[in-house]
A = this chain, B = another copy of it.
Amino acid sequence: MKISAIVTLKENVLDPQGKVVNQTLKNMGYSNITEVRQGKYFEIQLNENNKEKAKKIIDEICKKLLSNTIIEDYTINIKQ
């Protein structure tokens, strides 16, 4: 099963990388871009046919390794 996880900084946490991209786009002439926030994307392939079990494993992995839950949020999507 293929599952994706997206890890983003929480809304109230400063995102310098996103700000740099935003400023660069403005400098390139894209004046209608108002905000950019950057995050991490993970595509995980795992041997587990039960959707619920797979989701539980990825949730655990997100909490333990892929995200810092103090400053980051994550969302999980089953892809296939």
Binding site for B on A (CB under 8 A): 6-8, 18, 21, 24-25, 28, 30, 32-48, 57, 61, 64-66
Contact = CB atoms under 8 A, between A and B. Distances in A.
A42 B37 CA distance: 6
Nearest to A47: B32
Given A24-B65, A34-B47, A36-B43, 8 more contacts: A7-B41, A18-B43, A30-B46, A35-B43, A38-B40, A38-B41, A39-B42, A40-B40
28 contacts: A6-B41, A8-B43, A18-B42, A21-B42, A21-B65, A21-B66, A28-B65, A32-B46, A32-B47, A32-B48, A32-B57, A33-B44, A33-B45, A33-B46, A33-B47, A33-B61, A34-B47, A35-B43, A35-B44, A36-B43, A36-B44, A37-B42, A38-B42, A38-B43, A39-B41, A39-B43, A40-B41, A41-B41
